[in-house]
Amino acid sequence: MAYSAEVVKRARARLAQAKEDRESENRQHLAVAYARVPRIREIDIQLRRTMAQAAQAAFLQGSDGRELLEEAKRENLELQQERAILAMENFEEGYLDDSPICDKCGGSGYIGSTMCECLTELCRQEQKKEVSVLSGSREAFNQFRLDYYPDRIDPKYGASPRTIMERNLKICRTYALTFAPSAGNLLFVGGTGLGKTFLSACIARAVADRGCSVVYESAGHLFGKLEQAKFNPTEEARRETARFTDCDLLILDDLGTEMPGQFVTAAFYTLLNDRILTGKPMVVSTNLNIDEIARRYSPQIASRLQGSFQGLTFVGEDIRVLKNRGL
């Protein structure tokens, strides 16, 4: 899965620090061992000598070279065995283990051009932290309370708000827990305080947990960053806006709360079109219905949202108001 440049940068910094800490600890342990058991220092010097002899012997031709190589190998093995015994007798297990922070990549974070598992895990952790900061929440699906939604049938929908929201919750949970590049797009439509942002944040956290790159932005912030990149095209601005097209999942919250204008309409259409054409999933939440979207932006944008997104209608009473009433 792809991660933003900033996420990888932070993960690499953490790995480099962990590598430095491990090497510093190894040096400290070795200094203690040399002081406590001087023979270990002598062995290490002899080991370096036998390794140099083995390297020289490898270049010699004939039986002389083979004999010198075998002799160096035997001496090296005997020295290693003596060192292991001294370490076992004088120190706790693993005290003189000088293995790298990662046995697979040596702490570089890459095996050839492929990201190692150690760096991938750090990227996943950084992604989760970034999503939590951007969404400003720690919501989880199991915290979504259906009891806030009336259980009586609403003639307008032919079902109760609770039944409708229970279905929405199931769709969102399945979407997040089985997320893949082919997951498709979701459009949340409904009034204020009905759980759109809550479920958006739940999806963001769950998808990030799967190791995918997630960008969670309010419409106002996203279009503001796109406008800044257009009229003040710095490298930093370019990297920032590239996240919107490159990430595995883009979540655009509160569409319709940004300042309207020609730039916003054009930028939204371009972003929407790019992600649809490349098959990169989006989740969009808005208080506007499709007709209002067509009037505010354009009929083309409304058509894209209708044709390429699975629409989920959020119904019920404003949960914030209910909470203020102590319900």
Q: What is the DSSP string of 178-207?
A: T--TT--EEEEEE-TTSSHHHHHHHHHHHH
Q: Is 285 exposed, middle or buried (0-12, 13-18, 19+ CB in 10 A)?
A: buried
**Crossing angle for the helix pair 5-36 and 62-90, nearest 10 degrees?**
80
**Taking a C-beta distance cutoff of 8 angstroms, is the pair 226, 271 a contact?**
yes
pLDDT of amino acid 123: 86
Are the C-beta atoms of 98 and 31 separated by less than 8 Å? no
Q: 108-122, 130-144, 197-211, 238-252 — which is least confidently predicted?
A: 130-144
Give me the pLDDT at residue 301, please: 96
Given pLDDT bands bounded at 50, 70 and 90, which one contains residue 188? very high
Distance CA 170, CA 188 (A): 14
**Topology at the third CATH level for domain 136-324:** Rossmann fold (3.40.50)
Confidence of residue 290 (pLDDT cuts 50, 70, 90): very high
Please identify which residue in the block is written with the tokens 């916003």.
264
Residues 6+ apart with CB under 8 A from 300: 269
Least confident of 16-25, 35-44, 151-160, 208-217: 208-217
Range 132-169 burial, b when 16+ CB lie within 10 A, else e: bebbebebebeebeeebbeeeeeeeeeebbbbbbeebb
Percentage of residues of the chain with pLDDT beyond 90: 56
> Cα–Cα distance between 302 and 297 in angstroms, integer?
8
- The pLDDT value recorded for residue 133 is 58
The answer to whether 292 and 300 are in contact (CB under 8 A) is no
What token pair was written down for 62? 């004939």
The pLDDT of residue 36 is: 95
Distances from the Cα of 28 to the Cαs of 18, 24, 31, 33, 171, in angstroms? Answer: 15, 6, 5, 9, 54
Hey, CA dihedral for 316, 321, 323, 327, is it positive or negative? Answer: negative
| 142 DSSP assignment | G
Above 80 in pLDDT, residue 137?
A: no
pLDDT at 233: 77
**Which has the closest alpha carbon to 49: 84, 79, 9?**
79
Give CA–CA dist 109/120, Å, rounded. 8
Check residue 228 and give its pLDDT. Answer: 85
Rounded to the nearest integer, the mean pLDDT of the chain is 88
Tell me which of 235 and 153 has the higher pLDDT: 153
Contact 284, 309 (CB under 8 A): yes
Greater model confidence, 72 or 266:
266
